[in-house]
Amino acid sequence: MMSLRHEIRSLSSSVRTATDEQIALVVATIDRMEMRGVADALVAPLRGRLRALAVPRPRQLRRLCFEPLDSLIVDSAVWKRAQPFVPRSALVPLFEIMQRENPELCDGGQLLVGPESYPSGRAQLCAKLWLDGARALQSSPAPANWRQTSGLADADYYAIRSVVVVILEQADRLCRLDPRAEERQILAELREILTAAAQGGALAWQAMLVLLFSQSDFVALAVRLGQELATTSALAVGLDAAFKSVSAVLQGKLDLLGDSVSVAPMELANMVDIIVDLEAAAGPRSERKRTAEVLRRNASQLCAKAVARVVEQELIPALKRDGNEPQPEVQSIAETAARSVRALGLVAERLGVSDKYDARARAVVVHLTDTGNCFDPIDRARLLEILGRGSEAQEVLRAFYAARALIV
């Protein structure tokens, strides 16, 4: 008989290759369970995809409290000491301290997660929640049950606390960062955030850099400012370490996307933005440059693979359907696939590998010029246009209008 651990492992591996809809279903089922226990292990391999899929999760005060740290939270099994991340197993005891030291925290917080959630003034309530949480942790020694609940050593508590406190203290500022604001305004905000992080210790500085490097809107400015503010050797080492950590995170995400059956073009586009900015900011530091180049290469491969998959498995099969099938449904499937292909093509362009995309797009054009499928000329012209083949689309349209004029 298969042991529970084996069963979970086997389930986890099948969940890893599940479709988006299946994932949403699994997560919703687990979220409804009162006692999640080992079922949580099923969600673990999916966490990377959950954000991209925007699967609605139940509102929990604990989740809200640690929301600003989201991209720093890692599975406890992969967490390592002296790295700027927070193991998931630490969240429960940390939250207990925040609640114990600050009972009114719950009252305000419950407003945000209750049935009438997202009331007006949410931003102010969140800001208070995070700041009070940071203060509560700041003055608390390691709790007696720390080892038991988190599975970590007491020394780890202080290292993790230094990261959590700084991020929560700056959380409101981080939330208010507006990518559309003027550059000097963003720089001023980032300077204050990073200066505060530098004062919080080497690990907090690293963590803040990782957090900012993970946001495509701010990575370029954060690297620039990080270099400027890294005036001591400890901070410079921290900057290098942050660069490495982010690269590892990005590589992990690329691996995850590579394993999954579908690649969300916008998620990949976002990652590519970060990679391109990191590479541009790598400057003369050859190690950073090399790391960024490897990431770019891997992203390019993933992009090419994703384009090939959507074209071969979604778009061309839709185009090969015969004229007896209901047109609106098939056109809708084909249009969605064509949009994904085009979006991936634009990502490929940003990566400088659009030739691979062009080759695939040419194969689609051949199918679209075949009049034996269920698409009328307007639909075919539109699909060509979505794929970025404007001149071919116009040709199809011109031929159609010319034929129509003859009939008239």
Partner 1 sequence: MRTTLIERFQPATFVERGVAIPFTTPMLSGTRARPDDRSGMELVVPNPGSGQGVYVFNWSHLAKFCQPSLHDLALTERVAALRSLTPATIRRVSREVATEGLAGREVALAADRSRGDDEQATVVTNYHLLVRLMRQIAANDPSKFPAERESALLVQRRARESIAIIAPQIGLLPDQLAVNLEELAEICLRVGVGNAGITAQAPLMIKELHRFRAGIAAWVAARDGDRADQARYILSEADALLELAEPLVAASQRRAFDVMQLLRDYSAAPAKLAAEFARTDWLLDGWALMCARWRAAPPDQYDEVIEELAAMLPPMPAEALEWGYRLSVGIERIYRRHVPAGHDWRTGLLAFQGIERGEQALRLTFESAA
Assigned token pair, 368? 């679209």
Assess contact for 102 and 90: CB atoms under 8 A: no
- When the beta carbons of 73 and 397 are compared against partner 1, the nearer one is 397
d(CA 150, CA 136): 18
- When the beta carbons of 107 and 183 are compared against partner 1, the nearer one is 183
Residue type, 31: D
- When the beta carbons of 32 and 180 are compared against partner 1, the nearer one is 180
d(CA 393, CA 369): 10
- When the beta carbons of 240 and 349 are compared against partner 1, the nearer one is 349
Q: Which of 125, 110, 228, 113 is nearest to 175 (CA)?
A: 125
d(CA 76, CA 256): 18
Which residues contribute to the site for partner 1 (CB under 8 A)? 178-182, 217, 220, 269, 273, 276-277, 280, 328, 331-332, 335, 339, 342-343, 346-347, 349-350, 378-379, 381-382, 385, 390, 393-394, 397
CB of 187 to partner 1, least distance (A): 13
CB of 153 to partner 1, least distance (A): 41
Residue type, 8: I
CB of 239 to partner 1, least distance (A): 21
Beta strands at 73-74 and 86-87: parallel, antiparallel or unpaired: parallel
Which residues, 6 or more positions from 109, have their beta carbon under 8 angstroms from its beta carbon? 61, 64, 65, 125, 129
CB of 290 to partner 1, least distance (A): 21
d(CA 237, CA 332): 52
Beta bridge partners of 74: 87
CB of 404 to partner 1, least distance (A): 10
Q: Which residue has the tokens 């700027």?
A: 84
Beta bridge partners of 153: none
- When the beta carbons of 53 and 346 are compared against partner 1, the nearer one is 346
- When the beta carbons of 98 and 310 are compared against partner 1, the nearer one is 310
Instruction: Tally Cβ neighbours within 10 Å of residue 291.
Output: 22
Q: Is 90 helix (H, G, I), strand (E, B) or coil?
A: helix
CB of 373 to partner 1, least distance (A): 16
- Note the Cα 139 to chain centre separation in Å: 33
CB of 311 to partner 1, least distance (A): 17
- When the beta carbons of 70 and 335 are compared against partner 1, the nearer one is 335
Which residues, 6 or more positions from 310, have their beta carbon under 8 angstroms from its beta carbon? 337, 340, 341, 344
CB of 126 to partner 1, least distance (A): 15
CB of 339 to partner 1, least distance (A): 8
d(CA 26, CA 388): 37
- When the beta carbons of 216 and 298 are compared against partner 1, the nearer one is 216
d(CA 185, CA 109): 30
- When the beta carbons of 152 and 347 are compared against partner 1, the nearer one is 347
